[in-house]
Amino acid sequence: MTFAHPFILLLLLVPLALIIWVFRRHSGAVVMPFDYSLARGKRSLQVLVNLAETLPLLLVALVVVLLAGPQRLAEPHSRRALTNIEFCVDISGSMTASFGGGTRYDGAMQAINDFLDFRKGDAFGLTFFANNVIHWVPLTSDTSALRCAPPFMRPETAPPWMGGTEIGKALLACREVLRERQEGDRMIVLVSDGESSDLSGGNDLEIASKLRSDNIVVYHIHVADGEVPGDVTNVTTTTGGTAFQAGDPSVLKAVFEHIDQMQQTKIEKVSTETLDDYEPWCLAALALLAASLVCAFGLRYTPW
């Protein structure tokens, strides 16, 4: 046990000195007519009265302890380490291609919606890209905004200036978002169906190096038939992630489950907190107060 103001405990010397005086006092008696009778005082009764007299002094001592601010250490516990996950979704025209019962865009957004249930407690952000980038949802633990996003930025209704596919620009834009988060791991989940010209000429390794220096892991999901573009694979491999090929919705769901397993939730120890510990002392003080009131009806010192 510790105290917020331990120097106040020095005041305990005052009630301690008074308690010693109560048990050692001998003077101050008043002579009564029957003092010379054969009746003798009972030692046990004197001790009982002295104990009753010390109750208010013990109450004062407890008040001093409360003023000193008693504290205790809370039980050590663990918490889920935060992961900042930025979804980077392609909304170029090719994302309207048939994919299962809908389009590639529909399948990707449905899989993202399911992935949110796997990673409860993490922070999620949503970025749409084509030739340009739109940060649609900032990083947040409230997933309602992401779940409501699909109808508002469909490839069919995207602004005409979005155009084609520039994955490099989108990754760098997501990098700036994640760099603002000082706490937790950083991850980009890139969903696209095509190749990107801005990753050629060594740009893929340059961008990957920047992402890796900021501890950002990139996972890529290629929602189309055919091989994953090599430059995108270079980015994911360099940052410690993986590229997946998902030709149908069932595979896409399995890919997100696999990413969840690869980027497992971390549990970190939380330092023990110091808490105020007034309750036991207050209960003891109330008990002493009640006992002192009861004793005041008959057990009290008189000088005769």
Residue ranges per structural domain of the chain? 2-74+272-295, 80-268
Q: Are 190 and 207 in contact (CB under 8 A)?
A: no
Q: Which CATH superfamily is domain 80-268 in?
A: von Willebrand factor, type A domain (3.40.50.410)
The Cα–Cα gap between 102 and 122 comes to 28
* pLDDT the model gives residue 120: 73
**Residue listed under structure tokens 């900021």:** 214
* pLDDT the model gives residue 63: 92
3-state secondary structure the chain: CEECCHHHHHHHHHHHHHHHHHHHCCCCCCCCHHHHCCCCCCHHHHHHHHHHHHHHHHHHHHHHHHHCCEEEECCCEEEECCEEEEEEEECCHHHHCEECCEEHHHHHHHHHHHHHHHCCCCEEEEEEECCCEEEEEEEECCCHHHHCCHHHHCHHHCCHHHCCCCHHHHHHHHHHHHHCCCCCEEEEEEEECCCCHHHCCCHHHHHHHHHHHCCEEEEEEECCCCCCCHHHHHHHHHHCCCEEECCCHHHHHHHHHHHHHHCCCCEEEECCCEEECCHHHHHHHHHHHHHHHHHCCCCCCCCC
* pLDDT the model gives residue 113: 86
pLDDT along the chain (304 residues), means of 10: 87 91 72 58 76 89 90 65 86 87 88 81 89 91 86 84 87 93 85 88 93 92 86 92 80 73 55 78 91 82 59
The string of pLDDT tens digits covering residues 216-248 is 999 998 888 888 889 999 999 999 988 888 876
Q: Please state, as a whole number, how many other Cβ atoms lie within 10 Å of the Cβ of residue 243.
A: 20
* pLDDT the model gives residue 193: 87
* pLDDT the model gives residue 209: 95
β-sheet bridge partners, residue 186:
84, 216
The string of pLDDT tens digits covering residues 62-73 is 999 999 888 887
* pLDDT the model gives residue 298: 77
* pLDDT the model gives residue 79: 52
